[in-house]
């Protein structure tokens, strides 16, 4: 089975020196890639800039901006069985890129931002055959936000985590996940190493996909 997995942050340049980004380390996405490879699946790992090594068996595609990630994932959509959108894509980018370094201002500085493409919603709005897994990093109203994103983004499964908890989520080696499926109660995966959670999550993804395929036949 072929997996396409996104991981890490994206960066939106302000000028040749500065950029907008977020705290995503890529550890969760890389752990899912490693878990899939352990089970002898084929993995295409589409990664934003991170400071960790990719599993050597994965086909690694490095990207920087959200548009680069969208292009890379779009190219894989028709060829994968499972798409795992674990990357933390910047929600905004500068309205204009400055080709030269902006000089430091003495007073307040204003930067106009515009929304970036919603990659997941863009991909699922077109016909596709792959099983789509989305991720939702939340700091409040986790269940409400994740359930809404599951429906709005047309995912088969949504994975949510509370990144406001100390020692969990972004930058951390541990996480605590809540799994959302259409017409089912949320399933909580207790705090554990991301490598352990990735193996459990992989089983849930594969079992859910198999049930969906069985119902269709």
Question: How many Å apart are CA 97 and CA 136, to the nearest integer?
Answer: 28
User: Which residues sit opposite 20 in a β-bridge?
Assistant: 12
Decide the pairing of beta strands 2-7 and 82-85: parallel
| Residue listed under structure tokens 């949510």 | 160
Question: How many Å apart are CA 9 and CA 50, to the nearest integer?
Answer: 8
Q: Which residues of 98-114 are buried (b: 16+ CB within 10 A; e: fewer)?
A: eeeeeeeeeeeeeeeee
Report, as residue numbers or ranges, the catalytic residues: 22
Nearest to 44 by CA among 13, 80, 71, 98: 80
Q: What are phi and psi of 84, to 5 degrees?
A: -115, 110
């Amino acid at each position: 089975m072929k997996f396409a997995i996104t991981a890490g942050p994206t960066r939106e340049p302000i000028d040749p020196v500065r950029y907008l980004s977020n705290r995503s380390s890529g550890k969760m996405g890389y752990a899912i890639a490693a878990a899939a490879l352990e089970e002898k699946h084929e993995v295409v790992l589409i990664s934003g800039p991170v400071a960790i090594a990719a599993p050597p068996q994965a086909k690694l595609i490095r990207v920087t901006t959200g548009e680069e990630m969208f292009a890379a994932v779009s190219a894989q959509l028709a060829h994968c069985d499972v798409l795992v959108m674990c990357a933390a894509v910047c929600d905004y980018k500068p309205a204009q890129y400055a080709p030269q370094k902006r000089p430091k201002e003495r007073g307040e500085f204003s930067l106009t931002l515009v929304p970036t493409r919603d990659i997941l919603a863009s991909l699922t709005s077109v016909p596709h055959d792959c099983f789509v897994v989305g991720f939702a990093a939340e700091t409040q109203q986790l269940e409400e936000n994740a359930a809404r994103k599951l429906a709005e983004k047309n995912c088969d499964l949504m994975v949510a985590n509370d990144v406001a908890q100390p020692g969990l989520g972004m930058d951390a080696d541990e996480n605590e996940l809540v799994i959302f499926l259409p017409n089912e109660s949320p399933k909580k995966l207790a705090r554990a190493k991301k490598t352990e959670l990735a193996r459990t999550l992989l089983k849930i993804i594969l079992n859910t996909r198999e049930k969906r395929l069985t119902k269709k036949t």
